[in-house]
Amino acid sequence: MISPRQLTPEVQLRIASLDDAPALADAYTRSWDHLSKWEPARPEKWFTVAGQEERLTAQLERYKNGQVVPWLLAEGDRIIGAATLSDLVPGPFRSASLGYWLAGDVVGRGLATRAVQTVAEIADSELKLHRIEASTLTNNAASQRVLQRTGFTQIGHAPTYLHIAGTWQDCNLYQRILNDREPGA
């Protein structure tokens, strides 16, 4: 079990639970103007408690099976962001994909950088991964700075990589090598 981590005295990085569905629905609704240019188009149900309960149920099942790690950034009872390691691959690859977002009203406080750094440390020390990868839209300079500040290096460019904001968009690809341990060590 991955324990919660304090990113600041007020903000905690912790594993999501089904009880977070109302706060997540609120966070997405509150921040959609900010998030919509970086996210896939979402159905109306996404912004409801029922939609978030459905999503969290599936995500938590994948967490239980070791396929994903769904963290939330919580400031008291309010969700202000998320970080997710998905597609965890064991064996000789020992890799996962990182995604993250922040609510529009907390951008600029260094929270994304702290969250990504903390997730990388957990991926190394507790999940025993070798590397994590991430992608950003080519025009998402803020997210690229977060990745660069936290030890990621750009490893490529992928044309029409993700369907974001209603269109296929180009992305920059990044990775962070966490360690050179032998698999299983």
- Reported as a single tens digit per residue, the pLDDT across 63-117 is 999 999 999 999 999 999 999 999 999 889 999 999 999 999 999 999 999 999 9
Asked whether the CA dihedral 131, 178, 116, 137 is positive or negative, the reply is negative
Neighbours of 169 (CB within 10 A): 19
Angle at 146 between CA 121 and CA 135, to 5 degrees: 90
Average pLDDT, the chain: 96
Claim: this prediction has a pTM higher than 0.85: yes
170: confidence class by pLDDT, cuts 50, 70, 90: very high
Which pLDDT value is given to residue 132?
A: 98
Whole-angstrom distance between the N-terminal and C-terminal Cα of the chain?
19
